[in-house]
Amino acid sequence: DDDDDDEGGEDDKKDEEEEEEIIELTGKDLKNRVILLENVISLFACQYTARGLLDADKLTVMTMVTLRILVRSGEISKEQMDMLIRAPPDPNPPPMPENAKAWLSETQWAQLKSLESIEAFRKNAKLTDTIDQDNMGWRKWYSEEKAEVADLPR
Protein backbone atom coordinates (compact mmCIF):
# COMPACT_ATOMS: atom_id res chain seq x y z
CA ASP A 1 0.00 0.00 0.00
CA ASP A 2 2.77 2.43 0.86
CA ASP A 3 4.42 1.77 -2.49
CA ASP A 4 1.20 2.70 -4.32
CA ASP A 5 1.05 6.06 -2.49
CA ASP A 6 4.63 6.87 -3.43
CA GLU A 7 3.99 6.13 -7.12
CA GLY A 8 0.92 8.37 -7.12
CA GLY A 9 2.94 11.19 -5.57
CA GLU A 10 5.66 10.82 -8.19
CA ASP A 11 3.08 10.97 -11.01
CA ASP A 12 1.69 14.22 -9.60
CA LYS A 13 5.18 15.72 -9.48
CA LYS A 14 5.83 14.67 -13.09
CA ASP A 15 2.53 16.24 -14.22
CA GLU A 16 3.44 19.51 -12.51
CA GLU A 17 6.88 19.52 -14.13
CA GLU A 18 5.43 18.80 -17.57
CA GLU A 19 2.93 21.68 -17.40
CA GLU A 20 4.15 24.70 -19.32
CA GLU A 21 4.21 28.09 -17.78
CA ILE A 22 1.67 30.37 -19.44
CA ILE A 23 3.14 33.75 -20.21
CA GLU A 24 0.77 36.70 -20.43
CA LEU A 25 1.69 38.98 -23.34
CA THR A 26 0.36 42.50 -23.64
CA GLY A 27 0.83 45.54 -25.81
CA LYS A 28 3.88 45.60 -28.03
CA ASP A 29 5.02 42.08 -27.06
CA LEU A 30 1.65 40.62 -28.05
CA LYS A 31 1.63 42.51 -31.35
CA ASN A 32 5.17 41.34 -32.17
CA ARG A 33 4.23 37.75 -31.32
CA VAL A 34 1.18 37.87 -33.59
CA ILE A 35 3.26 39.31 -36.45
CA LEU A 36 5.88 36.59 -35.96
CA LEU A 37 3.21 33.88 -35.96
CA GLU A 38 1.57 35.32 -39.11
CA ASN A 39 4.92 35.32 -40.90
CA VAL A 40 5.85 31.78 -39.86
CA ILE A 41 2.41 30.39 -40.71
CA SER A 42 2.44 32.18 -44.08
CA LEU A 43 5.89 30.79 -44.88
CA PHE A 44 4.93 27.21 -44.00
CA ALA A 45 1.63 27.47 -45.89
CA CYS A 46 3.46 28.73 -48.98
CA GLN A 47 6.09 26.00 -48.76
CA TYR A 48 3.43 23.32 -48.28
CA THR A 49 1.40 24.67 -51.21
CA ALA A 50 4.48 24.85 -53.45
CA ARG A 51 5.23 21.17 -52.82
CA GLY A 52 2.05 20.22 -54.68
CA LEU A 53 2.57 22.49 -57.69
CA LEU A 54 4.23 21.91 -61.01
CA ASP A 55 7.43 23.92 -61.36
CA ALA A 56 5.87 25.92 -64.19
CA ASP A 57 3.05 27.08 -61.88
CA LYS A 58 5.03 27.89 -58.73
CA LEU A 59 6.00 31.45 -59.69
CA THR A 60 2.43 32.32 -60.69
CA VAL A 61 0.83 30.91 -57.55
CA MET A 62 3.44 32.39 -55.20
CA THR A 63 3.01 35.79 -56.87
CA MET A 64 -0.74 35.59 -56.31
CA VAL A 65 -0.25 34.60 -52.65
CA THR A 66 2.31 37.36 -52.13
CA LEU A 67 -0.02 39.97 -53.63
CA ARG A 68 -2.86 38.80 -51.37
CA ILE A 69 -0.59 39.09 -48.33
CA LEU A 70 0.45 42.60 -49.37
CA VAL A 71 -3.19 43.66 -49.81
CA ARG A 72 -4.17 42.18 -46.47
CA SER A 73 -1.30 43.97 -44.71
CA GLY A 74 -2.24 47.26 -46.38
CA GLU A 75 1.07 47.63 -48.22
CA ILE A 76 -0.73 47.76 -51.58
CA SER A 77 -4.36 48.43 -52.43
CA LYS A 78 -6.73 45.98 -54.07
CA GLU A 79 -6.81 48.28 -57.11
CA GLN A 80 -3.01 48.10 -57.40
CA MET A 81 -3.13 44.31 -57.17
CA ASP A 82 -5.77 44.18 -59.90
CA MET A 83 -3.66 46.52 -62.03
CA LEU A 84 -0.61 44.25 -61.66
CA ILE A 85 -2.57 41.09 -62.44
CA ARG A 86 -4.83 42.25 -65.24
CA ALA A 87 -2.62 44.97 -66.76
CA PRO A 88 -5.44 46.85 -68.45
CA PRO A 89 -4.12 49.00 -71.29
CA ASP A 90 -4.30 52.78 -71.00
CA PRO A 91 -7.19 53.82 -73.29
CA ASN A 92 -5.28 56.86 -74.59
CA PRO A 93 -1.54 56.18 -74.39
CA PRO A 94 0.91 58.69 -75.84
CA PRO A 95 2.77 57.61 -78.98
CA MET A 96 5.33 54.86 -78.52
CA PRO A 97 8.97 55.88 -79.06
CA GLU A 98 10.35 54.70 -82.39
CA ASN A 99 13.15 52.71 -80.77
CA ALA A 100 10.63 50.60 -78.77
CA LYS A 101 8.43 49.72 -81.77
CA ALA A 102 10.81 46.95 -82.84
CA TRP A 103 10.18 44.89 -79.71
CA LEU A 104 6.98 46.17 -78.03
CA SER A 105 3.44 46.02 -79.35
CA GLU A 106 1.03 48.95 -79.06
CA THR A 107 -0.98 46.99 -76.46
CA GLN A 108 2.12 46.35 -74.35
CA TRP A 109 3.00 50.04 -74.51
CA ALA A 110 -0.52 50.96 -73.37
CA GLN A 111 -0.24 48.44 -70.52
CA LEU A 112 3.07 49.95 -69.43
CA LYS A 113 1.49 53.41 -69.44
CA SER A 114 -1.33 52.16 -67.18
CA LEU A 115 1.21 50.75 -64.71
CA GLU A 116 2.45 54.28 -64.14
CA SER A 117 -0.67 54.88 -62.03
CA ILE A 118 1.16 52.86 -59.33
CA GLU A 119 3.68 54.99 -57.46
CA ALA A 120 6.45 52.38 -57.56
CA PHE A 121 6.52 52.62 -61.38
CA ARG A 122 7.02 56.37 -61.35
CA LYS A 123 9.13 56.80 -58.22
CA ASN A 124 12.44 58.00 -59.68
CA ALA A 125 11.31 58.30 -63.28
CA LYS A 126 8.30 57.09 -65.20
CA LEU A 127 8.66 53.52 -66.39
CA THR A 128 8.05 54.44 -70.01
CA ASP A 129 10.64 57.25 -69.82
CA THR A 130 13.28 54.79 -68.63
CA ILE A 131 12.36 52.43 -71.48
CA ASP A 132 12.83 55.28 -73.94
CA GLN A 133 16.17 56.32 -72.35
CA ASP A 134 17.64 52.81 -72.00
CA ASN A 135 15.97 51.03 -74.89
CA MET A 136 18.77 48.50 -75.41
CA GLY A 137 18.88 47.52 -71.72
CA TRP A 138 15.12 47.01 -71.54
CA ARG A 139 15.07 45.14 -74.85
CA LYS A 140 17.80 42.79 -73.58
CA TRP A 141 15.86 42.22 -70.33
CA TYR A 142 12.64 41.63 -72.29
CA SER A 143 14.41 38.98 -74.39
CA GLU A 144 15.79 37.09 -71.37
CA GLU A 145 14.63 33.49 -71.12
CA LYS A 146 14.07 33.95 -67.37
CA ALA A 147 13.37 37.67 -67.14
CA GLU A 148 11.80 37.22 -63.70
CA VAL A 149 15.23 36.50 -62.19
CA ALA A 150 17.34 38.75 -64.45
CA ASP A 151 18.52 42.16 -63.25
CA LEU A 152 16.36 45.06 -64.36
CA PRO A 153 17.99 47.83 -66.38
CA ARG A 154 19.04 50.79 -64.24
List, for residues 86-112, the tens digit of each pLDDT value.
989 999 999 999 989 999 999 999 999
Contact criterion met (CB below 8 Å) for 152 and 121: no
pTM > 0.75: yes or no: no
Task: For residues 85 and 60, give the distance between their C-alpha atoms in angstroms, rounded to a whole number.
Answer: 10
Considering only 2-6, 124-128, 141-145, which range has the smallest mean pLDDT?
2-6
User: pLDDT tens for residues 19-72?
Assistant: 777 778 788 888 898 889 988 998 898 899 889 889 889 988 999 999 998 999
Instruction: Assign 18 to helix, strand or coil.
Output: helix
